Chains A and B, each alone.
Chain A
Amino acid sequence: MDMILLSAIVHAILVASTPLVFAGLGALIQERAGVLNLGIEGLMIVGALAGFVVALSGQPLLVSVLAAAMAGALLASLFGFLVLRCLANPIASGLALTLFGLGLSALAGAQYVGLSAPQVAVWHIPLLSNIPFVGKAFFSHDPLVYGSILAATVVWWFLMRSRPGLVLRAVGENHDSAHALGFSVRGIRFLAILAGGGLAGIGGAYLTLIQTPLFVEGMTAGRGWIALALVVFASWRPFRVIAGAYLFGCVTIVQLHSQAFGVSIPSQILSMLPYLATILVLVFISWRSKGKGSVGPSSLGKTFKISH
């Protein structure tokens, strides 16, 4: 295969993976605080619509992305209220969030179907983008691809190198101890939910602003669920989320271009690959961690209530 095609494919893989990186980081930061949010899919699609609508009104990319993040955070705050304040079942609440988000975006977005978002300028990194192959594959992207790497770095630094991040992880590991130490478990979890909702919203906006760039009902097509699986795949580490997302992007692109590679399997079979790969990875990490106690934050998905 010639190098130009290969570099174009690597370029496409990065584009296909970026929404998963953002959404995966959004799920990760919540899970590190002990919140299992099954509503990522709903948050993504609401962010996708919000970003798209703002971009159509002629706003620059940054404003559209911020709008998507705010829409995601706003919807996520509803989840936070239910789970933290009403002590509702987090699994059902997340599911309600997904249903509601999908319905809301379909209803509100019906009038925007068929329109397309303005083209986003590509940032060629000086010098580096002139390198043959590598330049086109890695250094000639839209700002959000670089932004996703930056976001992972920031999330990593915050969780692993800063004191508030340490507190957040403490809340996720053992909320009773964190409470006893005087930290506000609910406050910290609420902030984590807001941040996670914002990141998921950006992930969704990447689809409507850059990847397609259109809005279609239900266009997230299960990416929110893959993001949740990614976090497990990444064993709750930000940089591994990137690696996992690129692996998934790889499978998606291979499936899209299977005909170019001369594969004659029905496209649906190849479309199954990301889902089957997720299951295999889940089996692998669960098998590897057997005997070492639980995988992931110890208080994940447990309801916290003040007992006195």
Chain B
Amino acid sequence: MIHFESRAEICWFHEWIVVAVALALTGLTCAVLLSVFGFDPFVSLERIVIKPLSSTYGVSELLAKATPLITIGVALSLSFRAGIWNIGAEGQLIAGGLAGGAVALAFYGVDSFWVLPLTLLGGSLGGLVWGAIPAFLKVRFNVNEILVSLMLTYVALLLLSVMVHGPLRDPDGYNFPESRLFHDAAILPKLFSAGRGHVGFIFSLLFAVGATWVVKRWHLGFEMKVSGLSQRAACFAGYDRNQTIWISLLVGGALSGFAGVVEVTGTIGQLVPNISPSYGFTAIIVAFLARLHPLAVVPAGLLVALSYLAGESAQLALGIPGAATQIFQGMLLFFLLGTSLLVNYRIRFRRRL
């Protein structure tokens, strides 16, 4: 009979071997699915993964997609460690993009160095406010943060829609629901001559390093971790649960908001009704792929960004519907979760007594 036995200590080697197994299983399933639909898996791999990555343009696009995923993934890895389930990062991203975009449009035509920092700050504040709502409600009324942050995602999406249909619409845009293109002073510099990769990526790397420092070296990081592992233990140690709630959601909101404003000022260049292909939700997969280690979010984010890129090229080169990306991401999360059992438990085979 198969029997699971708790491991006394979690070994870092097991953690990453399990991630590798999950990735291999996902890749294998995809190869099988491709063959079932009549595509040669190796030729497809070459066309949808290797080819896009072998040009500067492709790499630049990859970094553009990885930027929001890493930025939000870092925040979520902190928050999930603390046992705060901020599922509404997507809404915080949209709120940030909207607030930052509004600042950029308010100073349209002002050609000064401070416009861009102010725009980024505005975006982060927008996300912060969106994250503060579930934090306040949880601290004050003990309301479940999962549901509140999620409901606010829909509210943010609708709010963005109202604004680009109304007050922020381009006056010369023939009534299209879009804002005007941001002034050059509010546009993030590009990393390469080709593609849309921008300096927001550098910021995302800095966030990952900063968060790792907080987790490893600050007492606050330790308090949040204890609070997530056992609320009772944290309570007996005198750690403030409310502080953990506030920090998790405010950092989550601010970073997601930053990801949003960086997305509109770096990748898109204007406000449109849809500023994110569910980056906020996909970042949850990124955080789990990184096993909630902030530094590991960087490769995880790049990998998941690659799945977006591969999905796009699969659509173009093979005619596979774009939804295949979502299936791939869902499957990856399934395998990651299913195999994570092996990190915490050892399998023993023994006869039934």
Q: Which residues of A contact B (CB under 8 A)?
A: 38, 78, 81-82, 86-89, 91-93, 95-104, 106-107, 110, 217, 222, 225, 228-229, 232, 266, 268-269, 271-272, 275-276, 278-279, 282-283, 286-287, 290, 305
B147 touches A96 (CB 8 A): no
What 7 A-B pairs are tightest by C-beta distance, nearest first?
A: A103-B326, A100-B330, A106-B323, A88-B337, A96-B333, A103-B327, A99-B330
- Count how many pairs of residues, one from A and one from B, have CB atoms less than 8 Å apart in the complex: 136
B288 touches A107 (CB 8 A): no
Binary CB contact string for chain B from 326 to 344 against chain A (1 if under 8 A, 0 otherwise): 1111110110011111001
A92 touches B284 (CB 8 A): yes
B330 touches A89 (CB 8 A): no
Bound Cα distance from A40 to B141, whole angstroms:
26
For B325, list chain A residues within 8 Å (CB): 103
Choose one: B137, B144, B161, B326; the contact of A102 (CB below 8 Å).
Answer: B326
Q: Which of A89, A272, A287 has the most CB of B within 10 A?
A: A272
For B95, list chain A residues within 8 Å (CB): none
Choose one: A86, A92, A276, A305; the contact of B333 (CB below 8 Å).
Answer: A92
Choose one: A86, A98, A222; the contact of B337 (CB below 8 Å).
Answer: A86
B147 touches A100 (CB 8 A): no
Q: How many residues of B contact A (CB 8 A)?
A: 46
For A305, list chain B residues within 8 Å (CB): 4
A100 touches B327 (CB 8 A): yes
Overall SS of chain B's interface: helix
Bound Cα distance from A275 to B155, whole angstroms:
7
Bound Cα distance from A102 to B325, whole angstroms:
11
For A282, list chain B residues within 8 Å (CB): 137, 143-144, 147-148
**In the complex, what's the smallest C-beta–C-beta distance from A64 to chain B, in angstroms?**
23
B327 touches A107 (CB 8 A): yes
A100 touches B331 (CB 8 A): yes
B150: interface (CB < 8 Å)? yes
A232 touches B333 (CB 8 A): no
Bound Cα distance from A283 to B158, whole angstroms:
22
Bound Cα distance from A38 to B154, whole angstroms:
16
A232 touches B147 (CB 8 A): yes
Bound Cα distance from A96 to B285, whole angstroms:
8
A279 touches B137 (CB 8 A): yes
Bound Cα distance from A229 to B137, whole angstroms:
15
Choose one: B148, B321, B345; the contact of A110 (CB below 8 Å).
Answer: B321
B341 touches A88 (CB 8 A): yes
* Chain B contacts with A in 140-179, Cβ cutoff 8 A: 141-144, 146-148, 150-152, 154-155, 158-159, 161-162, 165-166
A99 touches B326 (CB 8 A): yes
A290 touches B142 (CB 8 A): yes
**In the complex, what's the smallest C-beta–C-beta distance from A80 to chain B, in angstroms?**
12
Bound Cα distance from A89 to B287, whole angstroms:
13
Choose one: A91, A266, A276; the contact of B155 (CB below 8 Å).
Answer: A276
Bound Cα distance from A106 to B311, whole angstroms:
14
A86 touches B144 (CB 8 A): no
For A266, list chain B residues within 8 Å (CB): 162, 165-166
Bound Cα distance from A287 to B325, whole angstroms:
41
B338 touches A286 (CB 8 A): no
Bound Cα distance from A89 to B334, whole angstroms:
10
B142 touches A269 (CB 8 A): no
Choose one: A78, A96, A278, A287; the contact of B141 (CB below 8 Å).
Answer: A287
Bound Cα distance from A97 to B151, whole angstroms:
19
B302: interface (CB < 8 Å)? no
Q: A103-B329, A275-B155, A287-B141 are in contact. Are A87 and B334 (CB under 8 A)?
A: no
**In the complex, what's the smallest C-beta–C-beta distance from B7 to chain A, in angstroms?**
13
A38 touches B146 (CB 8 A): yes
For B155, list chain A residues within 8 Å (CB): 272, 275-276
Choose one: B137, B321, B333; the contact of A283 (CB below 8 Å).
Answer: B137
For B142, list chain A residues within 8 Å (CB): 286, 290
Bound Cα distance from A87 to B162, whole angstroms:
43
A92 touches B326 (CB 8 A): no
Bound Cα distance from A242 to B334, whole angstroms:
33
B181: interface (CB < 8 Å)? no
For B339, list chain A residues within 8 Å (CB): 86
B23: interface (CB < 8 Å)? no
Bound Cα distance from A95 to B282, whole angstroms:
10
For A268, list chain B residues within 8 Å (CB): 158-159, 161-162, 165
Choose one: B144, B154, B330; the contact of A96 (CB below 8 Å).
Answer: B330
Can you name 4 extra interface pairs (CB under 8 A) apart from A82-B334, A103-B329, A272-B154?
A: A81-B338, A268-B162, A279-B152, A282-B143
B147 touches A229 (CB 8 A): yes
Bound Cα distance from A23 to B325, whole angstroms:
26
Closest-by-CB residue of A relative to B333 is A96
Bound Cα distance from A133 to B275, whole angstroms:
46
Binary CB contact string for chain B from 108 to 144 against chain A (1 if under 8 A, 0 otherwise): 0000000000000000000000000000010001111
Bound Cα distance from A57 to B305, whole angstroms:
39
Closest-by-CB residue of B relative to A100 is B330
Choose one: B281, B284, B326; the contact of A100 (CB below 8 Å).
Answer: B326
Bound Cα distance from A87 to B155, whole angstroms:
33
A225 touches B150 (CB 8 A): yes
Q: A99-B329, A100-B330 are in contact. Are A225 and B158 (CB under 8 A)?
A: no
Bound Cα distance from A278 to B147, whole angstroms:
9
Closest-by-CB residue of B relative to A289 is B142
Closest-by-CB residue of A relative to B133 is A279
